[in-house]
């Protein structure tokens, strides 16, 4: 749509616009006043003059009480509620994932232990000699680090941290 604004109009366009003393403007003014009077009086809207009906509807809308304003901090309250709902859903999902992962680890350890008579002696012979001196130390360090990180996540102590160490 290419509509002209008042600033875009040239002198000939402004001269062609009706002035306040134009009879058309007077008729519109009288129609608006009549719509206001009829609306105040509560008269039914007549279908014979659609322009009058439009002005009556406009008058009715302008006389209606203003809606209550949105309370201060409304967006913040809605965002807080949405985050609480999302956090609750995430908490349940995280708990179920941890439960399933724990069950998988327990079952894996059980089946590895129950069948270790066949593969454990062969594996021990293939490991390098220094493995038994440093292997448990490395495993203990990993277990302590990952265990501490998991404990911090479960208790909520890691909320201020931007990310996790690799």
29 and 58 together in one domain:
yes
- Residue 74 C-beta-side C-alpha neighbours within 13 Å: 5
pLDDT digits (tens, 9 = 90+) for 127-154: 777 777 787 888 999 999 999 998 888 8
The number of folded domains in the chain is 2
57 and 78 together in one domain:
no
Instruction: Give residue 46's domain range.
Output: 21-63
DSSP label at 20?
Answer: T
**Whole-angstrom distance, CA of residue 61 vs CA of residue 73:** 28
pLDDT digits (tens, 9 = 90+) for 47-103: 788 888 898 889 888 888 777 888 899 999 999 999 888 877 777 888 899 999 999
Is 93 contained in some domain? yes
* H helix runs in 48-163, sequence order: 50-63, 74-114, 116-126, 131-155
105 and 77 together in one domain:
yes
Asked if residue 19 lies in contact with residue 13, where contact means CB atoms within 8 angstroms, the answer is no
Is 134 contained in some domain? no
53 and 77 together in one domain:
no
77 and 59 together in one domain:
no
Is 109 contained in some domain? yes
The DSSP line for 40-74 is: HHTPPPPTT-HHHHHHHHHHHHHHSPPPPPPPTTH
59 and 77 together in one domain:
no
Look up the pTM and report it: 0.32
């Amino acid at each position: 749509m290419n509509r002209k604004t008042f600033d875009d109009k040239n002198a000939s366009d402004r001269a062609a616009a009706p002035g306040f003393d134009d009879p058309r403007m007077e008729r519109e003014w009288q129609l608006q006043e009549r719509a206001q009077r009829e609306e105040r009086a509560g008269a039914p809207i007549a279908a014979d003059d659609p322009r009058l009906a439009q002005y009556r509807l406009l008058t009715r809308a302008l006389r209606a009480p203003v809606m209550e304003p949105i309370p201060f901090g409304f967006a913040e309250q809605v965002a807080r509620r949405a985050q609480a709902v999302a956090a609750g859903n995430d908490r349940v999902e995280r708990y179920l994932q941890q439960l399933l992962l724990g069950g998988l680890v327990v079952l894996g350890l059980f089946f590895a232990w129950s069948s270790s008579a066949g593969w454990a002696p062969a594996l021990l012979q293939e490991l390098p000699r220094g493995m038994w001196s440093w292997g448990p130390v490395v495993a203990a360090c990993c277990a302590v680090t990952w265990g501490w990180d998991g404990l911090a996540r479960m208790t909520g102590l890691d909320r201020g941290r931007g990310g996790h160490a690799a």
